Structure 1
Amino acid sequence: WVLRPQTFIIAGFSFVVSVQLISLGLLAAQSKRYFEELYYAATRHARR
């Protein structure tokens, strides 16, 4: 850290980006699941 202080900035930036990518993946998986549930419910309702 003493010799290269930019390492702290790069590590912090990488951590923030990784957290954002993980949460984006979780949100995408959640919205996909909700879409599939609504799609199957709508198609079952339309068949009746």
Structure 2
Amino acid sequence: MFDLDETVIQGWLRSLTSQHPESFLNKLKLSWQEDLHIKNTSPLSQLG
């Protein structure tokens, strides 16, 4: 979904806390974690 450094994402999320409800932030964090997991679980890493 997004190709951003995790520290950039965390900083951006902290800046959003006053503008968006916690449930929205949790959904964003969850989607990024899933996206990072997909990137880290590449077919090459499964072959080894």
What TM-score do the two structures reach when normalised by structure 1? 0.49
Relative CO higher for 1 or 2, CA cutoff 8 Å, sep ≥ 6?
Answer: 2
Greater fraction of residues in helix: 1
Structure index of larger Rg? 1
